[in-house]
Structure 1
Amino acid sequence: MTQWNAAASTAARNLGRNSIFCGLAALLPLITGPIAVGYRGFVPSLGWLLMLVFCVLVLALAVHLLFDSLLFRLASSHETEVAGLAAVDDLLSRMKLRKPEKTPTCLEKRIAGSRRIVWRQRFALAACLVIFAIFLFDASDGLPLC
């Protein structure tokens, strides 16, 4: 396995793990929120809507990162970096997700782009969980929920 194959495989594995972990963490408030609604008027409507938007954003970015992970796996299955990235570009152009470029983007720039998406996802997840924690604290009036 060459160095670029290892980098693409590692990126695919890390993106897959991150998207699954963050997606499951975003589902936590969506599952427990409606259960806790009856508990002392858990969440005001606007707050619930705001938390819902952040959770859906995290889930949408998780799907995007899973797709990126599959693209990196496709690239790593080829012999050379040029052939792997050309296969990814061909797939994206056939799916009409990206127009063919004259000069293909290198692997490092593609990984950097995925990392930016990961940080956006983490920010949205943090915002979602902070809002959820504020609602839990507000609903309990500072007392333990148990």
Structure 2
Amino acid sequence: MTQWNSTASAAARNLGGNSICCGLTALLPLIAGPITAGCRGFAPSLGWLLMVVFCLIVLALAVHLLFDALLFRLASSHETEAAGLAAVDDLLSRMQLRKPDRTPRGLDMRIAGSRRIVWRQRLALAACLVIFAILLFTAGDGQPLC
């Protein structure tokens, strides 16, 4: 296995693990919200809707990152970096997700793009959890839940 194959495989593993972890963490407030609503009444509807929007953003980005992980796995299955990235570009153009570029981006640029998506996902997850904590605190008026 060459250096770029191991780099692409590691990127696929990291993206997959991150997307599953953040996706499951985003599901927790969606599950716990209605349960806590039965105890004391949850909170203003606007806060609840804002939290749901951020949770859905995290889940959408998790799906996007899983797709990116599959693309990195596809690239790492080829013998050369050029062949692997050409296969990814061909797949994306056949799916009509991206127009073919004149100058294809390298592996490092693609990993950097996925890292930006990971940071956006983490930011949305942090916002979701902060809103959920605020909603829990205001719903109980400082009293313990249930």
Do they fold alike, i.e. is TM over 0.5? yes
Aligned counterpart, 1:94: 94
Shift of 1:102: 1.0
Distance 2:26 2:72 in 1: 24
* Counterpart residue type for residue 56 of structure 1: L
* Counterpart residue type for residue 50 of structure 1: L
Aligned counterpart, 1:10: 10
Aligned counterpart, 2:80: 80
Give the conservation status (yes or no) of the 8 Å contact 2:76–2:84: yes
Shift of 1:41: 1.8
TM-score of the aligned structures, taking structure 1 as reference length: 0.97
Give the conservation status (yes or no) of the 8 Å contact 2:36–2:145: no
Aligned counterpart, 1:139: 139
**Equivalences for 1:52-131 in 2 at 5 Å?**
52-131=52-131
Distance 1:40 1:145, change over 3 A: closer
* Counterpart residue type for residue 47 of structure 1: G
Shift of 1:13: 0.1
Aligned counterpart, 1:29: 29
Shift of 1:43: 1.7
Give the conservation status (yes or no) of the 8 Å contact 2:20–2:62: yes
Aligned counterpart, 2:20: 20
RMSD after superposition? 0.9
* Counterpart residue type for residue 121 of structure 1: Q
TM-score of the aligned structures, taking structure 2 as reference length: 0.97
Give the conservation status (yes or no) of the 8 Å contact 1:39–1:139: no
Shift of 1:135: 0.8
Shift of 1:27: 0.3
Are 1:48 and 2:48 matched, yes or no? yes
Q: Residue 39 of structure 2: SS of its match in structure 1?
A: coil
Unpaired segments ≥5 residues, structure 2: none
Please, which moves more after superposition, 111-120 or 38-47?
A: 38-47
Give the conservation status (yes or no) of the 8 Å contact 2:58–2:124: yes
Alignment identity in percent?
81
* Counterpart residue type for residue 6 of structure 1: S
Unpaired segments ≥5 residues, structure 1: none
Q: 1:67-106 deviations in whole A, cap 9, x for unaligned? A: 0000000000000000000000000000000000111100
